[in-house]
């Protein structure tokens, strides 16, 4: 039973489209994250939610909007997709916002914008 | 300059060798994390440290808070250890996370 599951695993879409990536964790963790890994493999945090409340919002275009309907879900919606949005997006969770017990990562969503 | 610097960037070792990957950081932290990313892309959290040393199997992670430095050691390395190892820190102010650029390790049989 997957602890942190992301869907879809691969997403190919045209510029200008709107798309969503879903993330669910069944670990009972309070905190969830979205990370972006660019073509150079550099990992950067985008958002963090603790108990459905936004606690980290890095400098990310406002075309990216996270939604947390409950603490087990953190979805990422992207409007007006651009070529530069192509990357691998990882969802993760931790017991609390201090990262207690480490992080559990999803398997990633490879987004390709054409 | 990144808040987290790792060295080396790339590392090739023979099976059985003892491996060390270094991480230095420039911010105050509440914890330091070592992550492993396999060629397939999945990321696994290996360690979370706030002081001292932790050991899990052949992996050992140490941290020196005063020197703002951490090391990840792999004893008796094996080809299955081939992966990218990423150091990350959570700061003690403002809920910031910083990642190193990773160390790509290849262990040759």
The answer, yes or no, to whether residue A49 has pLDDT greater than 80, is yes
pLDDT digits 0-9 by tens, A83-108: 999 999 999 998 877 666 678 888 89
Give B57: exposed, middle or buried? Use CB within 10 Å, 0-12, 13-18, 19+.
Answer: exposed
DSSP labels, A49-78: EETTEEEEE-S--TTEEEEEEETTEEEEEE
pLDDT digits 0-9 by tens, B29-55: 988 999 998 877 788 889 989 899 999
Binary contact (B31, A41; C-beta < 8 A): no
Cβ under 8 Å to B: A residues 49-88: 55-56, 88
Averaged over A58-78, what is the pLDDT?
91
pLDDT at position B23 is 98
The answer, yes or no, to whether residue A18 has pLDDT greater than 70, is yes
Instruction: Please count the other Cβ atoms lying within 10 Å of the Cβ belonging to residue B62.
Output: 17
C-alpha angle with apex A82: A78 to A84, nearest 5 degrees? 105
Binary contact (A99, B35; C-beta < 8 A): no
pLDDT at position B45 is 86
Of B56 and A57, the one with more pLDDT: B56
pLDDT at position A101 is 66
Name the pairing type of β-strands B83-91 and B97-99.
Answer: antiparallel
Q: Which of A3-7, A46-50, B15-19, B41-45 shows the lowest per-residue confidence on average (mean pLDDT)?
A: B41-45
Q: Which of A6-15, A33-42, A95-104, B88-97 shows the lowest per-residue confidence on average (mean pLDDT)?
A: A95-104
């Amino acid at each position: 039973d997957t602890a942190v599951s992301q869907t879809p695993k691969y997403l190919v879409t045209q510029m200008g489209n709107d798309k969503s990536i879903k993330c669910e964790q069944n670990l009972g963790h309070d905190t969830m994250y979205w990370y972006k890994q660019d073509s150079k493999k550099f990992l950067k945090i985008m958002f963090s939610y603790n108990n459905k409340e936004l606690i980290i919002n890095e400098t990310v275009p406002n075309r990216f909007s996270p939604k947390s309907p409950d603490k087990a879900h953190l979805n990422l919606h992207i409007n007006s997709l651009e070529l530069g949005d192509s990357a691998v997006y990882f969802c993760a969770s931790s017991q609390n916002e201090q990262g207690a017990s480490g992080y559990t990562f999803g398997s990633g969503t490879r987004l390709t914008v054409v | 300059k990144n808040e987290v610097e790792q060295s080396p960037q790339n590392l090739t070792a023979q099976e059985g060798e003892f491996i060390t990957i270094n991480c230095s950081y420039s911010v105050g932290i509440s914890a330091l994390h070592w992550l492993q990313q396999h060629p397939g892309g999945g990321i696994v959290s290996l360690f979370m440290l706030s002081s001292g040393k932790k050991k899990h199997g052949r992996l050992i992670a140490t941290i020196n808070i005063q020197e703002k430095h951490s090391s990840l050691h792999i004893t008796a390395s094996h080809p299955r250890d081939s992966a990218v190892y990423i150091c990350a820190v959570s700061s003690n102010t403002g809920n910031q996370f910083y990642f190193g650029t990773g160390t790509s390790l290849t262990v040759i049989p």
